Structure 1
């Protein structure tokens, strides 16, 4: 099972009770899986809180092999989009975290593109990373890597089985371009 590391809920220029409602709704879903969940609260008010009211939740889970997976949601800015209830935000964020845990991989779907960029810019050697199903953003990012760096990834689908729990995984392999800092090489 994946233990949850402390999450953080935040609220700015709204009632602190909003944040407590977020925590209660997120716990209502996550407590079904793990009873000891810690969600810290951070409420800002006054001059230090900025000019825009709002609230949000950031949840992080650490897998048994040390991978951190996260999910984060925030309310819509005032006047942009429909208002979000704190309870809905908490439940949706908890569901997003559970989806990230199910997807698995070495990084969460938000950071898939960063891992692939680091592989691309890395040494002129083979790099591999095991990801969950690729997000639409990551697929588009792979197209940009191909057009900008002329680099192609070998993509192998790894079906879930005994060793790989959750959804299907994707093994991404490439040879880095050996990028180095120009100012570092001139010295």
Structure 2
């Protein structure tokens, strides 16, 4: 399954890169416009989210994301869920594009976020913090430049704190880190 996902991501990146004729370097489209759309983490953790991206200049952008997912912890030996809950994660991203072409941008960035898991039928606090240095690119087709497709690769670090409500001393600390791959699409207004 992992090989299939990696092959799918590679094919999508190649398709987006080859979709329009090579253009001379210049100003990329959508500078000064807000793009709304989708951002999803496909390799690493699986999260789907709503995204808003704004290119303030040809080479500087900010992005905000809202991700939602379901978190379940269980034990197979007794076929029982220990808890079931919903993950809510808000992230913000700043990006700098050292390479700007008329049909694409290559950028580096830093993403940070905060979230929580709402555990059903339990008095438990679960807080999530995210830090993600990344590289990525956004591609535009000459036929419809208001639509941008992006891919990103980063080293995502999750710091998770879980414990009973109102007791910070008994929290369980979990650190999850690893490489993640994300894809997105934004329509610019």
TM-score by length of 2: 0.26
Bigger CA radius of gyration: 1
More strand as a share of residues: 2
Q: Larger helix proportion, structure 1 or 2?
A: 1
